């Protein structure tokens, strides 16, 4: 039975991951995100969705969150889930429901559906606090099973949130940002991403500036620096190991690149975060 089945994520944590840097983020865990009040929007795997009160989004590991913006009165609930436990469930029509969720991650709940989901989630948190209970993990497993059946029932019958339309430049920009999330350790060259998109590097530069106000090279640099900062502040990897992971020819080149764009050496940045 998998351990650490679920974790509540406070809004401040995904604020730091997504909003401040405004860069694509690949989810390492799956989970649910519920809009409790207000409005906003999210781009999931290159598709834009409007978030309103009672909207729920379900994501699997590997999902790319490209942008997330919301009004000041926006309230939400986020639960990260260890998806390994799904292998032990036997939900009828699981494959078709799984495919539908991947293709349509957001859906609007009725008030009663939202109430049912939140009641289960709140009970999960109460039960999870009892670490001294001899069957703590078993209870968590079965509570999460109840949540999955509730979600499967909703997706089996309800209509998903419509994807927001977008222009060709917008779509190309989203695809470019998705590539940055997955391929930034492969190449830092504009031409590489233009080839992937089957367009010229000049056109890629034009549409990125048109859509975002920054050119393609600026976005590539931001992605490299964001990944470097994350590795320096959240891992014990050496500067040399990080330079290899980010596909730099040597630590010296990586250090010069990082210094040029942050005015700090990698070691100085790491010390500032300790």
- How many CB atoms are closer than 10 A to CB 168? 8
Cβ neighbours of residue 35 closer than 8 Å, sequence gap 6 or more: 51, 52, 53, 54, 55, 56, 74, 75, 76
pLDDT at 127: 86
pLDDT at 3: 59
Q: What is the pLDDT of residues 150-177, one digit of tens each?
A: 988 888 777 677 788 889 998 999 889 8
pLDDT at 13: 60
Prediction pTM value: 0.70
Whether pLDDT at 272 is above 70:
yes
Domains in the chain (CATH in brackets) are: 6-157 (2.60.120), 168-273 (1.10.10.60)
pLDDT at 244: 95
pLDDT at 20: 46
pLDDT at 6: 82
Q: Which of 151, 160, 139 is nearest to 94 (CA)?
A: 151
Q: What is the pLDDT of residues 42-55, one digit of tens each?
A: 888 888 899 999 99
- Cα diameter, the chain: 62
Whether pLDDT at 86 is above 60:
yes
SS3 40: strand
Span 2-12, mean pLDDT? 71
74, 41 in Cβ contact below 8 A?
no
Q: What is the pLDDT of residues 187-226, one digit of tens each?
A: 999 999 999 999 999 999 999 999 888 999 999 998 899 8
Banded pLDDT at 15 (limits 50, 70, 90) = low
pLDDT at 219: 92
Angle value at C-alpha 215, between 176 and 262, nearest 5 degrees: 100
3-state secondary structure 6-31: EEECCHHHHHHHHHCCCCCEECCCEE
Whether pLDDT at 261 is above 60:
yes
What's the CA gap between 266 and 246, in Å, rounded? 13
What percent of the residues of the chain are helix, what percent strand, and what percent coil, each to the nearest 5?
A: 55, 15, 30
pLDDT at 19: 47
Average pLDDT, the chain: 86
Q: What is the pLDDT of residues 16-45, one digit of tens each?
A: 555 445 677 778 788 899 999 999 988 888
């Amino acid at each position: 039975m998998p351990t650490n089945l679920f974790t509540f994520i406070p809004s401040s944590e995904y604020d730091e991951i997504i909003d401040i840097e405004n860069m694509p983020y690949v989810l390492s865990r799956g989970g649910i995100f519920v809009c409790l009040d207000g409005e906003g929007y999210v781009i999931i795997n290159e598709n834009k969705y409007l978030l309103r009160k009672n909207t729920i989004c379900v994501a699997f590991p590997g999902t790319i969150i490209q942008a997330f913006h919301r009004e000041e009165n926006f309230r939400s609930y986020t639960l990260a889930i260890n998806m390994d436990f799904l292998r032990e469930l036997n939900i009828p029509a699981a494959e078709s429901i799984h495919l539908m969720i991947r293709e349509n991650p957001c859906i609007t709940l009725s008030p009663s559906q939202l109430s049912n989901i939140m009641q289960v989630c709140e009970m999960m948190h109460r039960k999870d606090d009892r670490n001294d209970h001899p069957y703590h993990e078993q209870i968590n497993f079965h509570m999460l099973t109840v949540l999955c059946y509730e979600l499967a029932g909703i997706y089996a019958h309800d209509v998903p949130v419509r994807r927001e339309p977008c222009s060709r430049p917008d779509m190309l920009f989203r695809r470019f940002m998705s590539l940055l999330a997955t391929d930034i350790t492969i190449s830092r060259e504009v031409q590489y991403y233009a080839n992937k998109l089957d367009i010229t590097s000049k056109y890629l530069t034009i549409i990125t500036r048109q859509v975002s106000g920054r050119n393609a090279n600026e976005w590539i640099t931001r992605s490299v620096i964001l990944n470097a900062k994350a590795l320096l502040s959240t891992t014990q990897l050496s500067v040399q190991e990080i330079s290899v992971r980010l596909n730099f020819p040597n630590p010296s080149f990586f250090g010069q690149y990082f210094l040029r764009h942050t005015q700090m050496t990698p070691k100085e940045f790491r010390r500032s975060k300790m």
